[in-house]
Every structure is written in C-alpha cells, then in structure tokens.
Structure 1
C-alpha cells in the first residue's frame, strides 16, 4: 500500500504504480473542500486529492480514503464515506484525533464517546451495503465495543493497537518509534544500530507487549490483549502504560482511572 496526499498522482504515475505491484493507494479527504484545504494548509489540495482518487479508480487501482475524525469534520463524515463508496472506493481509514505533532493545535476537538458510537453504527451500515473495508485508527476500544454491541467473535478480529506489537515507525532522521503518534518515545536509531537489535533490546517495546501490566482500567480490562488502549493517548497524559481516556467501554466496565 502507498499512502500519500494524492497531489502528484496523475495517470502516468498511477500506471507506474500498477507496474510496481501497488495494491492500494491511501489518500486523505478531511471533509469539505474548505476544511480539507485548511487542515493541509494548501489551497486546492482537496481538488487534487479528489482528482487523484478518480484517476486511481478509473485506472483500476484500489483506493483507501483516509480521514481525521474530530469535532469540525464529524458532520461531513457519513456523507463523505457514502459518496466515495458509491464511486468505487474499496476501503476507509478513520483516525480519531490524537493531540500530537501539529494536531496539538486541535486540542479539545475530540468527539465524544457517544458520537463515536453513532458513527460506528453508520460504519456498520456502510460495510453491509457496499462491502467496503473499514479500519478505525487511534481508537482501539472500538474493537471491544463492536464485539459487545454486535456480538462479534473475538477470533475474527486482530489486536487493535499495533504499537510495539506489529508496527514500528522510522522518522526521516532514522529514529525508531513504537508508532507514528509516539513521537517522543525513541527506541533507537537505524543509522547506528540494526533494526532487529533495537526491537529485541527495547524496554519500551517489552512494556507495550505486556498489556496485562498496564495501569488502571486498561490493565484490568478483559480485552487488554485485544485492545490495550491507545498508547499515544495514554502517553499524552504522561504515562505510556497508563489508561486510554477515550475508551468506549470504560463506563460499561465500571472502571475508573
């Protein structure tokens, strides 16, 4: 899969991507044209992204539309998903707001748990109607919520927070990170050490692989192996092993921080 902003994707580039065996291209759409351009900081970026999506579909390349879920985009999302599903988009990635990097400027704009639950209902309808794939990022508790709400078997779902358990990020400067949202948790540097050595020696990764040892509700939860909570959100509160403040089943389990 190639994840990009879509601004440079024309028919020639798409043709080359297909020759290289690219299976999916992930392109972001953040809502209305005005909102999208405001988030990217580039006037006209919405039109370029939308055109790239159409070009990929026309040329037979699968498309995943990515979007950020926060208070300013929430109202646009159901229509956005349906509109792009109707034109042939095969998958959607919806990421909850995590207030790191430039997103710290959006602090206080995360939607409520009740809003997320309503959105999940719409997502389930979308999957049933169009057969699309939907991935929810930054909100691992969506998995146990869906299991409980729709009586889905645990065996059909993979662990939802992959930080340290199947995912690593490498920064442009070579720093190895548990995920692309844990920008300050440096595990090592690929310029000075082998990646396998970084993985095997990292204390932070050992902690991330032991969710039963997490503190508070996440450590006590029956779904800690499957979910584990968003470690980036816990880290924003000051503790990599702390609880996830955005948990959708926190009240249902009668847990308290």
Structure 2
C-alpha cells in the first residue's frame, strides 16, 4: 500500500476540475451526461485561475490538477489555463475525449503550455467494442493516434477502461494494447450508477472479485490500478499474504470462472513481466480526492453528486478541510453495514459513490463487494502487514 506523502485531511493528492460538460460524443456511461454546447454558467477564465490559485495554496507538494470534461478542448482558453496552472507550480494534466479535436497540434500545444500528462479512455481492444460503447464511429482510431502522438511528444499517458458487461472477456486484449503502446498506468474503472451510467446493467459482486484479481495479475505486466474500486487495495493485501503462505488464491478467495478465463488469456499473451509491481495508492472520495464541477460545486468525487460547497462563494481549502461531508468521509467509523464491520475498512472503505448511487447513503456498505468481514484466513498476517486495516 502506498500512503500519501502528507496528511490527507490537510490537502488532497489530486484535484479534478470539470472544465465543461460540452462534448461531441454520446458515451453510454457518461457521468456528466455531456451535451453538444457549453453551459453559460461554467467557471470563467478568471474564476478558473482563482480555483487553481486556491489549489496551489494547499501547500507543497501541490496536488495534481487534472482538467477534464466533457471535452476540455471545447474551451478556447484551455491552453492559457494549463499555462497559468503550470506557472503556479501545479502538476498539470488533461483528460480529453477521443474526438477529432485531439490532433497532434493540439497535443503539442498542451505540452508547450505546461501539461505533463493526459489520460485517455480505451474501453475495448477493437474498434467494434470501443466505438460501440462510445456510440461514435472512429473514436478507437482517434484514441490510438493521440496515444502514440502524446508519447512521441513526451507526454505521460494514463489509459482508463470502463469495465461493464460489454468488455469483461476483452480485458486481456486491452492489457495487450497498453503493454504494446506503453502507459504510465492502466486504470480499470468500475461503473458507478450516475448520469447515463445509471441506465447500464451493473456487475455482480462475484464478477467484481474476479475482475479485481485479474487486475492484480495484470499488474505483473502493466502498471495496473483501479478507479471507484477501492476494494482493489484489499485484494492486493490479500494476494500478498496468500503468496507468502504459498496458498492457492483461487481457492482461498473463492474466485469464479470469469477470473479463470481472464487469467488464462493473460497467460496466453506471454507478455514479459515488469521489474516491480507498484502498490495501489490509498486515496478515496474526500480522502485525498476532490472534484470541482463546471459550475464550481465541490464534491468528494465526480461520481458522488453531493455538494459540500462552491468555490464561487467559499474557499476550496476550507471546504476540503472542514466541511461535514469531507470530514465524515475521512472517518472509517462512519461506515455502515459490512464496510463498517470490515477489518480492511481503513485501507479500503469501498466506493462511496456507488454506495450513494445504489442506496442514497454515502456511508452505506459497498454494494459491489463480496467479502465477508473476518473471513480472510490469515488475520495475524493482516495485522502485521497492515495494522491499520485490522481495526
């Protein structure tokens, strides 16, 4: 487990700003329910600069600042804002949509303005799978072209994959492309029922266990992580302890046929192992993470539609450090159900966004987790490896 270098109650590890909800795509899972035109109520250029100044005021090391959307390229001031943030000392990243706006010239201008990284979405290993999910033909090709160009320019690239029923068995194919093209990280995102994503069928908790264990295996060949799947940290700890005992993780964790298929296909790829596995980072909604909407409202996550305030009227630092919502989400004793009783609660905590999306309560138990508290067979090892987990 990688811990944050500073107190997560004092400053976030990452701040994501939704610069606009405008986007030419109509992706089936879109959190923002993106639309063709920009909202006139978006933060202005001056307000966006003030937001970045507030982020810089958290202190050193400054949080990573990510400009997302919609499609950030729909804002004509994007390059000026990236430059302004970089001049304030913020590590700047941009999360664009895979559209024709993502040209070599646009990426070069981002790099010149001071961006050091971008994130792109790849939701399938073929155009048929990816473009079908994105509901737009050509997105797959635009994404791969932008990926190659960004790397040639020296931009770091993170690849995000939304995991739903449409691509469960295709995940090894995505891993192959990530390995071949190169990325600083591959993040498997578990769907949260918000925005258009509320209309898509979810996974079962057992399928999620299989997927998370596959992502752990994929970490042997690509830098793998997860988004809105905080129980991946539990899986990482479990797998480490089981490996020390030489135990069969399939039997010990009760993994199913989906995992067996995914593992077999990963093995068949015969990809060379990485020199070292990077442990997952201890970041969760409101605990190292903050999201600011295009209208300035502040949320613990972009997938948790509860506002703790607005940067137009309040200080982001005050909202993050003192609001009831953020301080509550940083307290593992507030968790309910199995999450509240779980010995892994302080390093996992479950997806607060998914809990809210399915129950209306951000402190409810993680609905896509199959683990039963206390059932892991090596509790003494758990306390030695992660003493904070076995509370």
TM-score by length of 2: 0.58
1:252, distance to aligned residue in structure 2 (A): 6.4
Alignment counterpart, residue 298 of structure 2, candidates 176, 198, 203: 176
Higher-RCO chain (CA-CA 8 Å, sequence separation at least 6): 2
- Per-residue Cα deviation, 1:9-29 (whole angstroms, up to 9, x for no partner): 222222223223433211001
Tell whether 2:195 aligns with 1:101.
yes
- Per-residue Cα deviation, 1:213-250 (whole angstroms, up to 9, x for no partner): 21111112111111111111111212111111112423
Unaligned segments of structure 2, at least 5 residues = 1-92, 245-278, 377-391
- CA 123–197 in structure 1, closer or farther in 2 if over 3 Å, else same: closer
Which residue is equivalent to 2:281?
158
Unaligned segments of structure 1, at least 5 residues = none
- CA 65–102 in structure 1, closer or farther in 2 if over 3 Å, else same: same
- CA 97–126 in structure 1, closer or farther in 2 if over 3 Å, else same: same
Distance across 2 between alignment mates of 1:16 and 1:248: 46
Aligned to 2:119, the other structure's residue is in SS state strand
Count the aligned residue pairs: 246
Distance across 2 between alignment mates of 1:119 and 1:209: 26
TM-score by length of 1: 0.86
Q: CA RMSD in A?
A: 2.3
- Per-residue Cα deviation, 1:43-89 (whole angstroms, up to 9, x for no partner): 32222112111222333322211110011121222111112311223
Distance across 2 between alignment mates of 1:57 and 1:194: 36
Aligned to 2:233, the other structure's residue is in SS state helix
Alignment counterpart, residue 183 of structure 2, candidates 89, 95, 111: 89
Tell whether 2:16 aligns with 1:16.
no
Tell whether 2:306 aligns with 1:199.
no
Tell whether 2:162 aligns with 1:72.
no
1:178-257 correspondence to structure 2 within 5 Å: 178-183=300-305, 185-236=306-357, 237-250=359-372, 253=375
